[in-house]
Amino acid sequence: MTRTGFPKDFLWGGATAASQVEGGFNEGGKGLDSQDCRPQYFNLSRQEKNSWEYKQMTSAKFEAAKKEAGIGNYPFRFGSEQYSHYKEDIALFAEMGMKVYRLSISWARIYPNGDDEQPNKEGLKYYKDLFNECHKYGIKIFVTMLHYAIPVNLMDRYGGWKNRKLIDFYVRYAKTLFENYKDDVDYWLPFNEINAGRFNPYNGVALIKDQEENYDQSVYQALHHQFIANALTVKLAHEMMPGSKVGCMIARFCHYAATCDPRDQLTQLHDEQYTNWFYTDVLARGSYPAYMDRFFDENDIHIQMEEGDEELLKAYPVDFVAFSYYFTQVSTASEEWEKTDGNLVIANKNPYLESSEWGWQKDPTGLRITLNQIYDRYQKPVFIAENGLGAVDVLNEDKTIHDPYRIDYLRCHIEAMKEAIIDGVDLFGYTIWGIIDLVSCGSIEMSKRYGVIYVDADDEGHGTFDRYKKDSFYWYKKCIESNGETL
Ligand code: BG6
């Protein structure tokens, strides 16, 4: 069979997350969530904002956040105000020809405290209206059910995902979503970047480091609970909505060995196993991989499983595998290696690649490699749930925004996707991250913009929040119209 490019029904789209785009943090009965509590210190330099101390949640920061009733220095509380602008945003997506919108539902909008008996009707209505608006234009819906933000009550009362009770609360939430949106949603994703539980436990599994006696143990136990919640969600979806599609997703950290020194090669194997494969092996193959036994033994980690857990994982693997892809990194056995930044991680720098202003290294070939590796390993359809460039954009007086750097970035990644499809990969969709400007997850600021649509707001939430089309908007429109041929 000769493949020449993107299949006819390829899903071109854009992605956002509720906590970063919606705003309206206390409107419509929404409860406070974990992302609403991440502060911004406006006067810090970019380097300081990229530091681990800045990104790390502490008990003191968390307690202070809960006392702030207004927006304060919490940019996720205003986002891009999609809560009040969703009709306008979706009309712009339709004008661009977008086939699919990947968005997340805010758990705290549906269950304000996470453990409530009844869902919040206003929250349910908000998403119903939003989905109807998408359907008006024939835009398909890809829902992330949990993109980092959990109701704070689930942290205060239960200690986050390390408590097995969260599985029940999550499954109740999933059931509510399926009951209400079974005819609206095309693709379901229970967890955004499930490997975040390891690389950023506050975002991933709602743990605060200074509250944990044995941090690593809590992290892996919490991840186990998410794996079980994932399997139960697949089970429920398939029972309630026969034929529905449920996927898993990781932040894909593609690693290259620094040299052909076998020690670098072994480090690369381990980096790939511990940061990537572990998660998708559990969720797509349906069991803990053998290589993790040694890792757990050597790190004194003991996962408590209940009877039936392993059978559940085996019986309910996902239907497709998704990932976010921004940059690649180097694996080396040497301690001395120049570092650079990546999403919520510090990475070893690759001397062959260019870096963005935030240090993330651009590598379209790595995307082609990744697509081949994932498809080859699981033989399940693959979806690129996030990819894009965070950059400082300038709104000119005539309201234009010239962003050739973003077009270059997107173009070379889309070319790599096409090559991977010709290689034989069953890639069925691509959603540009932050299709509309939103608050950056790592550095908690508007200035790091990903959108092809500009939002007129600054880091502190000042501005009109009016939307403007960037040059990349027109470029992506042509790309979609030509099914990826006019780049
Ligand atoms: C991904 C997250 O890891 O990276 C998104 O799923 C995030 O929520 C994206 O926004 C880009 O990271 P950042 O830090 O530039 O916003």
Is 338 considered catalytic here? no
CA-CA-CA-CA torsion sign (186, 16, 421, 258): negative
- Model pLDDT for residues 66-102, shown as the tens digit of each residue: 999 999 999 999 999 999 999 999 999 999 999 999 9
Is 397 considered catalytic here? no
In which band, very low, low, confident or very high, does the pLDDT at 347 lie, cut at 50, 70 and 90?
A: confident
Rounded to the nearest angstrom, the distance between the alpha carbon of 481 and the centre of ligand 1 is: 27
To test the ligand 1 pocket, which listed residue (40, 383, 433) has its Cβ within 8 A of the most ligand atoms? 433
Report which ligand 1 atom has the smallest distance to the Cα of 360. Answer: 15
φ, ψ (nearest 5 deg) of residue 102? -95, 120
Report which ligand 1 atom has the smallest distance to the Cα of 192. Answer: 6
In which band, very low, low, confident or very high, does the pLDDT at 346 lie, cut at 50, 70 and 90?
A: confident
- The 3-state DSSP class for residue 36 equals helix
Question: Beta strand 320-324 with 254-257: parallel, antiparallel or unpaired?
Answer: unpaired
- The 3-state DSSP class for residue 221 equals helix
Flag the least confident range among 321-325, 330-334, 419-423: 330-334
What is the rounded average pLDDT for all residues in the chain?
96
pLDDT at site 157: 98
Report which ligand 1 atom has the smallest distance to the Cα of 196. Answer: 3
DSSP summary character for residue 372: H
pLDDT at site 98: 98
pLDDT at site 468: 98
Contact 279, 226 (CB under 8 A): no
pLDDT at site 43: 85
CA distance 329 to 147: 24
Exactly one of 81, 193, 272, 445 is catalytic; which is it? Answer: 193
Q: What is the mean pLDDT of residues 217-229?
A: 98
Q: Look at ligand 1, atom 5, and give the residue with the nearest C-alpha.
A: 441
Exactly one of 22, 81, 133, 386 is catalytic; which is it? Answer: 386
- The 3-state DSSP class for residue 378 equals helix
In which band, very low, low, confident or very high, does the pLDDT at 342 lie, cut at 50, 70 and 90?
A: low
pTM for the whole structure: 0.97
Percentage above 70 pLDDT, the chain? 99
Q: What is the mean pLDDT of residues 388-403?
A: 97
pLDDT at site 344: 62
Rounded to the nearest angstrom, the distance between the alpha carbon of 203 and the centre of ligand 1 is: 11
Contact 4, 421 (CB under 8 A): no
Q: Look at ligand 1, atom 2, and give the residue with the nearest C-alpha.
A: 441
- If you write DSSP's letter for every residue of 127-156 in order, what string do you get? HHHHHHHHHHTT-EEEEES-SS--BHHHHH
pLDDT at site 345: 67
Question: Beta strand 100-104 with 254-257: parallel, antiparallel or unpaired?
Answer: unpaired
As beta bridge partners, residue 12 has 430
Q: What is the mean pLDDT of residues 237-250?
A: 98
Q: Look at ligand 1, atom 7, and give the residue with the nearest C-alpha.
A: 441
C-alpha distances out from residue 248 to 11, 191, 220, 227, 280, Å:
17, 7, 17, 10, 7
Task: List, chain by chain if needed, residues with CB within 6 Å of any ligand 1 atom.
Answer: 17, 20, 192-193, 251, 324, 343, 386, 390, 433, 440-443, 448
For the cut 90, the answer to whether the pLDDT of residue 108 exceeds it is: yes
